[in-house]
């Protein structure tokens, strides 16, 4: 049997394990965009919204592969 729970219990509410991964990848992406803006590297990005989603997807896949393993 797998020792990792498939749901996260918050009181009587069961949450998907994707929720903390999505929240953490969103925070990591916000920090990445803040750093890119601070060093003025975001001016080389043509489509910022698509780049934001791409960076978030990369963080999501890395966290899923190495942290939670959903």
Assess if residue 29 is contained within a domain: yes
pTM, two decimal places: 0.81
Residues 70/18, Cβ–Cβ less than 8 Å: yes
Q: Please check whether residue 64 lies inside any domain of the structure.
A: yes
Decide if 2 is inside a domain.
no
Q: Is residue 51 a part of any domain in this protein?
A: yes
Considering the domain boundaries, does residue 49 fall inside one?
A: yes
Residue at 47 is within a domain: yes
pLDDT of residue 64: 87
- Judge whether 3 lies within some domain: no
**Closest among 1, 10, 4, 52 to 31, alpha carbons compared:** 52
| Structural domain count, the chain | 1
Q: What is the pLDDT of residues 54-70, one digit of tens each?
A: 999 999 999 988 887 66
Its domain, for residue 43, covers 8-68
Residue 1 lies in a domain: no
């Amino acid at each position: 049997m797998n020792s990792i729970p498939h749901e996260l219990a918050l009181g009587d509410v069961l949450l998907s394990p994707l929720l903390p991964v999505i929240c953490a990848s969103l925070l990591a992406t916000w920090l990445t965009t803040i750093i890119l803006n601070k060093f003025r590297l975001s001016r080389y990005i043509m489509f910022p919204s698509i780049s934001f989603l791409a960076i978030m997807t990369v963080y999501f896949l890395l966290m899923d592969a190495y942290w939670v393993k959903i």
